[in-house]
């Protein structure tokens, strides 16, 4: 113990010497350390926490235009814990002002009194605001009093610090994860619509088989939907009830809101209804799994099945009067398994996505860091073909019948198989012409493409 104490004191002496060195050169300095009582003063978790606090502090100073000498920064972890020291660059602010701004940082930070931002003036003296810090543990008496009187058992203080740091790091992870997933969801919608050329679908230069919507309609719709993505991710990340099905009403409520906003933005055109359904569930599941450190394709499939259960029987198997039947119900009644549409796909655990599209995306993009427009376009085209070739799209089935659907799938399969050879251009153009001529829009496969790209990138989180 004595040896440890010696090392801690030596580390503190070194800090004082560094500080003196800066003031001897005629500059003021700023330092950061964490008030960790006892030993060890740092470990992996504390160190990570320190790095996060430091980056927040740097941003706080910069936002107040307080400049530090980056070239002379000192940052180290030793027996006295994590420590950061930097000279302040001479600017038009008083040193008391710097003290005030750093105190404001300490006071507004969730770890508050655990943080120590110290300012030393050009004469090497500590700058104090005269405020006595309250005790970290009880928040009642001054910190110095509780320390002197040994008011709190050491282990209680360390446990509180440990759990406070857990909460802090978890919050940062939640924010990072939810921002990340939300941007990936928007990305997947934008990449899908920007993919050009596409058979029968709206792209950058063509409206495909649609005369009521164009590229701009899709951008408008994606923009209003994007507002919801982070909320859904937050809901999934913080969902703690063991019974996931309890999340369904809230997910449906958000989905309905999104549909309203979509119809308003697109002037009544259904651009993304299928994608909304798929992305709402997928964002929720991804965030939930990431927060529990369990994200994998298998876990994802398992949860989407848990959440949707017997979707087909529940939503398509109703026995009602013919004139009130939805397209989905008519297809299911007429074609059985083949007519189950997106509900059948979800109930089966998204085989089109996981068996057909994602393997293609992995083939093209798995080891690529910076994806170019060209690479993206070709990999998404390949994945879209895999989807059209395997997806029994109930919209096409309902509008065009089983023969056209099968012919479409066959043409997509042909182009898919010849993706890497000289026949491809001809076969792909043939598929596009076929869709134009027959007014076919494989919108269901476009939704699944956006979903596949989202899940693929969520997995790279």
Q: How many CB atoms lie within 10 A of CB 180?
A: 19
Rounded CA separation 48/156 (Å): 22
Residue, CB closest to Zn ion: 135
Parallel, antiparallel, or unpaired: how do β-strands 29-34 and 81-87 relate?
Answer: antiparallel
Dihedral over alpha carbons 150, 151, 155, 160 (to 10 degrees)? -130
| Beta-bridge partner residues of 115 | 34
Main-chain dihedrals φ then ψ at residue 427, nearest 5 degrees: -65, -35
- Which residues, other chains included, contact 447 with Cβ-Cβ below 8 Å and sequence gap of 6+? 272, 274, 275, 278, 342
Can you read off the two tokens belonging to residue 228? 């919801």
- The piece of 92-100, 132-140, 206-214, 401-409 that touches Zn ion (CB under 5 A) is 132-140
**Which is nearer to Zn ion, 140 or 260 (by Cβ)?**
140
Rounded to a whole number of angstroms, the minimum distance from the CB of residue 111 to Zn ion is 16
Region of 54-62, 139-147, 191-199, 435-443 interacting with Zn ion (CB under 5 A) = 139-147
> Which residues, 6 or more positions from 71, have their beta carbon under 8 angstroms from its beta carbon?
none
CB nearer Zn ion, residue 151 or residue 207:
151
**Cis amide leading into 7 (omega within 30):** no
For 373, the token pair is 């427009």
Query: Applying CB under 5 A, which of residues 83, 137, 237, 295 lies at the interface with Zn ion?
Result: 137
Specify the residue, 137 or 277, whose C-beta has the smaller distance to Zn ion. 137
Report residue 202 as tokens. Answer: 């709206």
Single residue of 22, 66, 135, 247 touching Zn ion by CB under 5 A: 135
- Output 48 or 134, the one with its CB closest to Zn ion: 134
CB nearer Zn ion, residue 4 or residue 138: 138
Least Cβ distance, residue 156 to Zn ion (angstroms) = 10
Distance CA 444, CA 274 (A): 7
Q: Does 146 bind Zn ion (CB under 5 A)?
A: yes
Q: Closest CB to Zn ion among 112 and 359?
A: 112
Asked if 138 interacts with Zn ion (CB under 5 A), we say yes
Interaction of residue 161 with Zn ion, rule CB under 5 A: no
- Window contacting Zn ion (CB under 5 A); options: 140-148, 275-283, 333-341, 350-358: 140-148
The answer to whether residue 157 forms part of the interface with Zn ion (CB under 5 A) is no
Q: Report the interface residues with Zn ion, using CB under 5 A.
A: 135, 137-138, 146, 151
């Amino acid at each position: 113990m004595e040896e440890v104490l010696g090392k801690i004191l030596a580390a503190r002496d070194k800090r004082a010497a560094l500080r003196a060195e800066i003031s001897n050169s005629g500059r003021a300095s700023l330092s950061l350390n964490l008030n960790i009582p006892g030993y060890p003063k740092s470990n992996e978790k504390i160190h990570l926490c320190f790095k996060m606090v430091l980056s927040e502090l740097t941003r706080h100073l910069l936002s107040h235009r307080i400049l530090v000498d980056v070239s002379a920064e000192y940052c180290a972890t030793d027996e006295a814990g994590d420590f950061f020291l930097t000279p302040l660059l001479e600017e038009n602010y008083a040193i008391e002002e710097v003290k005030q701004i750093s105190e404001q940082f300490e006071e507004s930070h969730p770890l508050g009194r655990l943080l120590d931002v110290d300012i030393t003036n050009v004469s090497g003296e500590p700058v104090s605001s005269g405020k006595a810090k309250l005790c970290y543990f009880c928040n009642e008496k001054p910190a110095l009093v509780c320390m002197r009187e040994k008011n709190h058992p050491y282990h209680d203080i360390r446990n509180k610090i440990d759990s406070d740091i857990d909460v802090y790091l978890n919050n940062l992870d939640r924010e990072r994860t939810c921002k990340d997933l939300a941007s990936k969801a928007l990305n997947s919608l934008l990449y899908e619509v920007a993919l050009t050329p596409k058979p029968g679908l709206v792209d950058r230069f063509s409206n495909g088989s649609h005369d009521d919507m164009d590229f701009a309609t899709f951008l408008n719709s994606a923009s209003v939907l994007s507002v919801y993505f982070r909320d859904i991710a937050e809901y999934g990340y913080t969902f703690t009830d063991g019974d996931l099905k309890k999340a369904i009403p809230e997910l449906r409520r958000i989905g309905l809101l999104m549909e309203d906003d979509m119809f308003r933005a697109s002037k009544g055109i259904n651009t993304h209804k299928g994608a909304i359904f798929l992305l709402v569930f997928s964002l929720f599941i991804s965030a939930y799994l990431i927060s529990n450190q369990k994200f994998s394709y298998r876990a994802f499939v398992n949860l989407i099945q848990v959440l949707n259960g017997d979707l087909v029987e529940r939503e398509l198997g109703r026995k009602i009067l013919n004139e009130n039947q939805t397209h989905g119900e008519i297809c299911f009644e007429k074609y059985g398994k083949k007519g189950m549409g997106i509900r059948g796909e979800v109930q089966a655990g998204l085989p089109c996505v996981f068996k057909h599209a994602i393997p293609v995306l992995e083939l093209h993009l798995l080891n690529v860091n910076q994806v170019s427009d060209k690479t993206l376009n070709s990999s998404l085209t390949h994945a879209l073909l895999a989807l059209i070739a395997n997806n029994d799209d109930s919209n096409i089935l309902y509008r065009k019948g089983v023969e056209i659907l099968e012919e479409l799938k066959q043409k997509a399969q042909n182009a898919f198989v010849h993706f890497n050879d000289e026949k491809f251009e001809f076969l792909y153009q043939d598929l596009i012409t076929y869709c134009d001529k027959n007014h076919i829009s494989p919108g269901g496969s476009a939704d699944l493409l956006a979903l596949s790209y989202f899940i693929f990138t969520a997995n790279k989180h």
